[in-house]
């Protein structure tokens, strides 16, 4: 028998299909959750691991206990002898430690004596077809090899031959409709913020989509008091400075933290979705997992208070922004009554149609609403829609303020996302565009949650080397504000900051702020042992980036590193973090008189000591 171990993954149709083919349920390594016990792994015949990588190569929360167990020194190299395994990783090649968790899990299992039945698969969310691009060939190879191991349990050709309708079975969620009689008395005539907060909690606790909010991280409501453009109009970029005040409870936070915002969806789009799906917006519902799938939807809780269907859609289902995954097309193909629509949807859901699906769906960023409008014969049960429509996710932003400098406020630096698709369709980021359209005079309250970021607030005695091109400067604005206040009463260590943008006149974010702190004894001034350096990439024929400015000032950087400085890097996760690291390697090698290999080891030691921090986003 085979088992599947899931380590914190998003909805993935192929893995779900594989589980149905194997005739096994998903197993979670989550303490009290049902599934494989860690100690019973040596007694399994075949185990399939699916693991995601979070942050900068971090193990997901649901895997931490299991991973610590696997790293025990008393486990011998023969502990998993006789066990077959396969690993599929879910990662993002935009990050430096791409699929790091899957890679180290694969190595550790082999070190303990287990035998891989197929080479580890590495799913890449950056690929045009998403994880499925690597998953399809990996599953095909896996099934073929499992057939050789046990032909009776894994019959030849079953990967393609089993009727898919049997695999999708029933939706994993169940919806209960409630009459008005027992509910109307519970609904307030003038809902206040507390009631709205409770509704958000009820709705999102019922959603099968993964939601990062938990009871240990208190939420609050914010009111925008400033919406200020930081870039010149018409320059091709729109970056805004937002200031918010607390209107409910005041949440304590520190500079370098992260604010998660729940965006509001366009009401007209929500109404269009409800009308297209023939739903009653005023129906009172509760959503919960089917009893047999209770372990799979462990994040769901049964809410005692029903909620209006429209409210549930608004707060949990991204109907007009996110693109659906391939499994969505597979399921709706069964509910298409027009033959030509059914054929097209089945083709999109097949491995052969993956490239055409990419052209139609991902490249054009088609929304669920648009797909349903393109296939009008599809009449889909609401239960399936709740399960398959991409969840409405909170958007995370680095906080760009210090609470010491701005009591009762929190500031954000946000790039307003907009683009045109290959077929000239206008697209924009749901949250950033919503925030950009808010006006301080409006009485609109923004639901938000605070959490720690990956950039810990440094003590005033610690020298700092900051690298933050573009909106990567956001957390460092808070750092500089914090240190400026500290310097009023005590001596503080030097700070060097490298900022980068395209043009001095177009997108020099917070220009006056940085310049004021780099002059007259400010925390970024040379008089204080620090410095402020800007790379304008497009103001001259050759491109100049932050790593070029770093090399130009290698002596100053090495001086601070020699004094025990900490390095903080923030910004785009594409090439910037690796280019910056390469610049540091050159500087350490040249200024420190070390070989390139020794410089690499020196920086790895800096990272292990908790003195090299990276916060990057795609």
Q: Does 534 reside within a domain?
A: yes
* 429-441: pLDDT as tens digits: 999 999 999 999 9
Pick the last residue of a domain from 133, 168, 203: 168
Closest CA relative to residue 536, chosen from 570, 509, 575, 564: 509
In angstroms, the Cα distances linking 435 to 100, 412, 446 are 34, 10, 9
* 110-120: pLDDT as tens digits: 999 999 999 99
Q: Does 285 reside within a domain?
A: no
Mean pLDDT, residues 306-328 taken together: 94
Strands of the sheet containing 612-617, edge to edge, are: 531-536, 495-501, 464-467, 566-572, 612-617
Domain with residue 471: its CATH number is 3.40.50.80
* 372-402: pLDDT as tens digits: 999 999 999 999 999 999 999 999 999 999 9
Query: Which one of 20-29, 48-57, 416-425 scores highest in mean pLDDT?
Result: 416-425
Domain with residue 70: its CATH number is 3.40.50.360
* 245-297: pLDDT as tens digits: 999 778 899 999 999 999 999 999 999 999 999 999 999 999 988 765 444 44
Q: Does 388 reside within a domain?
A: no
Pick the last residue of a domain from 168, 188, 205: 168
Residue keyed to tokens 């400015």? 549
CB-count exposure of residue 441 (10 Å: 0-12, 13-18, 19+): exposed
Mean pLDDT, residues 596-613 taken together: 95
Q: Does 277 reside within a domain?
A: no
In the structure, what pLDDT confidence band is assigned to residue 15 with cuts at 50, 70 and 90? low
In the structure, what pLDDT confidence band is assigned to residue 8 with cuts at 50, 70 and 90? low
* 495-530: pLDDT as tens digits: 999 999 999 999 999 999 999 999 988 999 999 999
Q: Does 513 reside within a domain?
A: yes
Q: Is residue 573's pLDDT more than 90?
A: no
Q: Does 612 reside within a domain?
A: yes
Q: What is the pLDDT of residue 63?
A: 84
**Domain hosting residue 603, numbered range:** 464-617
Q: Any idea how long the chain is? A: 618
* 28-81: pLDDT as tens digits: 333 333 345 667 788 888 888 888 888 778 888 778 888 888 999 888 989 999
Q: Does 112 reside within a domain?
A: yes
Q: Is residue 175's pLDDT more than 80?
A: yes
**Would you list the DSSP string of 102-161?**
HHHHHHHHHHTT-EESSPPEEEETTSTTTTHHHHHHHHHHHHHHHHHH-TTTS-TTHHHH
Tokens representing residue 28 in the block: 């979670």
Q: What is the pLDDT of residue 169?
A: 67
Q: Is residue 426's pLDDT more than 60?
A: yes
Q: Is residue 136's pLDDT more than 90?
A: no
Q: What is the pLDDT of residue 225?
A: 97
Q: Does 120 reside within a domain?
A: yes
Q: How many domains does the chain have?
A: 2
Pick the last residue of a domain from 126, 143, 168: 168
Q: Is residue 537's pLDDT more than 80?
A: yes
Q: What is the pLDDT of residue 165?
A: 52
CA–CA separation, 69 and 38 (whole Å): 8
Mean pLDDT, residues 12-38 taken together: 45
Mean pLDDT, residues 187-197 taken together: 71
Tokens representing residue 141 in the block: 């190879």
């Amino acid at each position: 028998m085979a088992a599947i171990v899931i380590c914190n993954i998003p909805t993935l149709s192929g893995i779900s299909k594989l589980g149905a083919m194997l005739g096994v349920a998903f197993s979670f390594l989550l303490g009290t959750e049902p599934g494989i016990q860690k100690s019973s792994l040596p007694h399994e015949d075949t185990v399939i691991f699916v693991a995601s990588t979070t942050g900068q190569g971090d193990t997901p929360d649901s895997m931490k206990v299991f991973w610590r167990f696997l790293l025990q020194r008393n486990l011998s190299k023969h502990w998993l002898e006789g066990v077959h395994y396969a690993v599929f990783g879910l990662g993002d090649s935009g990050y430096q430690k791409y699929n790091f968790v899957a890679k180290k899990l694969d190595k550790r299992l082999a070190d303990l004596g287990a035998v891989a039945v197929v080479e580890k698969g590495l799913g890449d969310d950056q690929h045009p077809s998403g994880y499925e691009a690597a998953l399809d060939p990996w599953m095909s190879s896996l099934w073929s090899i499992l057939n050789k191991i046990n032909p009776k349990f894994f019959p030849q050709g079953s990967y393609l031959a089993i009727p898919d309708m049997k695999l999708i079975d029933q939706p994993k969620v169940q919806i209960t409709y409630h009459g008005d009689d027992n509910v109307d008395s519970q609904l307030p005539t003038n809902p206040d913020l507390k009631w709205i907060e409770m509704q958000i909690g009820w709705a999102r606790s019922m959603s099968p989509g993964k939601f990062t909010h938990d009871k240990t991280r208190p939420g609050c409501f914010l009111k925008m008091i400033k919406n200020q453009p930081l870039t010149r109009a018409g320059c091709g970029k729109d970056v805004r400075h937002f200031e918010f005040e607390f209107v409910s409870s005041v949440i304590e936070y520190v500079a370098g933290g992260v604010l998660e915002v729940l965006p509001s969806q366009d009401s007209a789009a929500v109404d269009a979705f409800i009308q297209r799906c023939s739903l009653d917006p005023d129906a009172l519902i509760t959503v919960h997992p089917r009893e047999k799938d209770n372990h799979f939807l462990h994040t769901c809780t049964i809410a005692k208070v029903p909620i209006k269907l429209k409210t549930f859609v608004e707060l949990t289902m991204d109907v007009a922004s996110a693109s659906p995954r391939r499994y969505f097309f597979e399921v709706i193909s069964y509910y298409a009554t027009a033959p030509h629509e059914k054929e097209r949807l089945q083709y999109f859901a097949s491995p052969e149609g993956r490239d055409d699906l990419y052209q139609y769906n991902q490249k054009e960023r088609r929304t669920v609403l648009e797909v349903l409008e393109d296939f009008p014969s599809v009449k889909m049960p609401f239960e399936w829609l709740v399960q398959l429509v991409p969840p409405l996710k909170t958007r995370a932003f680095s906080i760009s303020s210090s609470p010491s400098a701005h009591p009762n406020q929190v500031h954000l630096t946000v790039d307003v996302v907009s683009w045109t698709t290959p077929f000239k369709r206008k697209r924009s980021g749901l949250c950033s565009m919503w925030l950009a359209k808010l006006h301080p005079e409006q009485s609109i309250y923004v639901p938000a949650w605070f959490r720690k970021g990956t950039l810990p607030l440094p003590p005033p005695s610690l020298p700092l080397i900051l690298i933050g091109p573009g909106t990567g400067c956001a957390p460092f604005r808070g750092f500089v504000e914090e240190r400026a206040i500290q310097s009023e009463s005590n001596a503080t260590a030097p700070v060097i900051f490298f900022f980068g943008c395209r043009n001095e006149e177009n997108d020099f974010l917070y220009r006056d702020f940085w310049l004021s702190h780099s002059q007259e004894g400010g925390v970024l001034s040379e008089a204080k042992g620090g410095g402020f350096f800007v790379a304008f990439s497009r103001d001259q024929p050759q491109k100049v980036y932050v790593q070029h400015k770093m090399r130009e000032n290698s002596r100053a950087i090495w001086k601070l590193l020699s004094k025990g400085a900490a390095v903080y890097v923030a910004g785009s996760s594409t090439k910037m973090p690796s280019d910056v690291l390469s610049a540091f390697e050159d500087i350490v090698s040249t200024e420190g008189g070390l070989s390139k290999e020794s410089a690499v080891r020196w920086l790895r030691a800096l990272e292990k000591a908790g003195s090299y921090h990276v916060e990057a986003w795609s």
